[in-house]
């Protein structure tokens, strides 16, 4: 006969705590039982891709991930098929009065309902996401799957091989700006044969803007650059013409240079508006304010 050792108080508390946690997880599934009348819980969207083109698995994964970024709204968080945060929110009731129930409401997660889902708009957003990576003729359709208390949406996107870059031609009208950009053309992010990518075009535009600003074009702006695209459906390629937009400010294409450098070692924001007369020291084209004997910096050292 086996004699079991009596549980200690600590073991008993631990056992009850584990039991309560298990019950909580099991009961978490009942988060759908207290939904508003006529509503169903939205459990998420699923992306499916269809294509007649032969695409590499890595490209398919990238396209699918891009399309998934367009899914909206985000469903309630789920753990092993259960939604404990939703259950906690529901446990608080519609109008919590006690501090504990208010805490439950704040800690929990409000249900994402069927009425919050606009599948048609989401399909358009997915198409736009696909367009931005070179799938210009992608078509997304949706199918709503409803159960007793839940619903999900399956989005099926018909895709094709992304359009690729054929050539980038610098057609900027201002000679100085054009030549400066061409001088650093080896750093361009837009390369022939690579897939069209809107984010990469934006990054390339910012790169050119930084290059121009570093060479004195302080009033230039990346929005002044325009990639004019010409697509070929036969080869599925895109040719770009880099141009300046019309009606940009005149000072945008002026390279500013340093005229004079003035160094004031005693400058203070507090005394910036006061009128002070200071001695000046000229050294190699730079003006130092203050008496040479009192200076803590030495012109010969810094120049």
Looking at the structure, tell me whether residues 58 and 125 fall in a common domain: yes
pLDDT in tens, 105-154: 888 888 999 999 999 999 999 999 999 999 999 999 999 999 999 999 99
pLDDT of residue 130: 98
Domain at 229, CATH number: 3.10.20.310
Structure tokens at 179: 């030549």
Q: What is the mean pLDDT of residues 35-51?
A: 93
132 occurs within a structural domain: yes
Query: Helices 175-183 and 198-213, interaxial angle, to 10°?
Result: 110
Looking at the structure, tell me whether residues 45 and 150 fall in a common domain: yes
pLDDT of residue 17: 61
Looking at the structure, tell me whether residues 54 and 118 fall in a common domain: yes
Percent of the chain with pLDDT over 90: 59
pLDDT of residue 298: 58
- 138 alpha-carbon distance from chain centroid: 22
60 occurs within a structural domain: yes
pLDDT of residue 91: 81
Looking at the structure, tell me whether residues 66 and 135 fall in a common domain: yes
Looking at the structure, tell me whether residues 178 and 289 fall in a common domain: no
Looking at the structure, tell me whether residues 174 and 229 fall in a common domain: yes
Domain end call among 159, 177, 194: 159
4 occurs within a structural domain: no
Looking at the structure, tell me whether residues 118 and 187 fall in a common domain: no
Is the pLDDT reported for residue 199 higher than 70? yes
pLDDT in tens, 170-184: 999 999 999 999 999
84 occurs within a structural domain: no
Angstrom distance (rounded) from CA 296 to CA 105 = 63
Q: How many domains does the chain have?
A: 3
Looking at the structure, tell me whether residues 168 and 200 fall in a common domain: yes
pLDDT of residue 35: 84
pLDDT of residue 146: 94
209 occurs within a structural domain: yes
Is the pLDDT reported for residue 242 higher than 70? yes
Domain end call among 159, 192, 226: 159
Residue 193's nearest CA partner among 230, 236, 132, 234 is 236
46 occurs within a structural domain: yes
Domain that includes residue 155, residue range:
36-75+112-159
Structure tokens at 263: 């160094």
Looking at the structure, tell me whether residues 278 and 213 fall in a common domain: no
Is the pLDDT reported for residue 7 higher than 70? no
Looking at the structure, tell me whether residues 40 and 155 fall in a common domain: yes
pLDDT in tens, 51-70: 999 999 999 999 999 999 99
Looking at the structure, tell me whether residues 63 and 131 fall in a common domain: yes
Angstrom distance (rounded) from CA 298 to CA 290 = 12
**Quick count: other Cβ atoms within 10 Å of Cβ 278?**
11
Is the pLDDT higher at 294 or at 194? 194
């Amino acid at each position: 006969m086996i004699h079991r050792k009596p549980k200690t108080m600590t073991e008993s508390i631990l056992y009850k705590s584990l039991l309560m946690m298990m019950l909580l997880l099991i009961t978490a599934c009942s988060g759908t039982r207290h939904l508003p009348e006529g509503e169903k819980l939205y459990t998420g969207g699923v992306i499916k891709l269809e294509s007649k083109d032969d695409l590499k698995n890595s490209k398919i994964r990238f396209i699918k991930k891009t399309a998934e970024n367009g899914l909206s709204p985000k469903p309630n968080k789920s753990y092993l098929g259960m939604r404990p945060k939703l259950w906690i929110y529901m446990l608080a009731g519609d109008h919590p009065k006690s501090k504990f129930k208010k805490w439950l409401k704040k800690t929990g997660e409000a249900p994402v309902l069927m009425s919050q889902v606009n599948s048609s708009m989401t399909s358009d957003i997915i198409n736009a996401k696909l367009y931005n990576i070179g799938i210009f003729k992608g078509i997304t359709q949706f199918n709503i799957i409803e159960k007793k208390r839940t619903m999900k949406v399956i989005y099926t996107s018909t895709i094709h091989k992304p359009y690729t870059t054929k050539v980038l031609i610098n057609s900027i009208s201002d000679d100085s700006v054009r030549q400066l950009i061409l001088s650093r053309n080896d750093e361009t992010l837009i390369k022939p044969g690579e897939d069209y990518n809107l984010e990469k075009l934006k990054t390339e535009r910012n790169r050119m803007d930084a290059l121009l600003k570093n060479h004195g074009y302080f009033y230039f702006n990346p929005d002044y650059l325009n990639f004019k695209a010409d697509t070929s459906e036969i080869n599925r390629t895109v040719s770009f013409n880099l141009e300046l937009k019309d009606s940009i400010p005149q000072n945008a294409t002026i390279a500013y240079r340093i005229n004079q450098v003035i160094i004031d070692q005693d400058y203070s924001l507090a005394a910036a508006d006061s009128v002070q007369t200071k001695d000046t020291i000229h050294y190699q084209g730079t003006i130092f304010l203050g008496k040479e004997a009192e200076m803590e910096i030495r012109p010969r050292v810094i120049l």
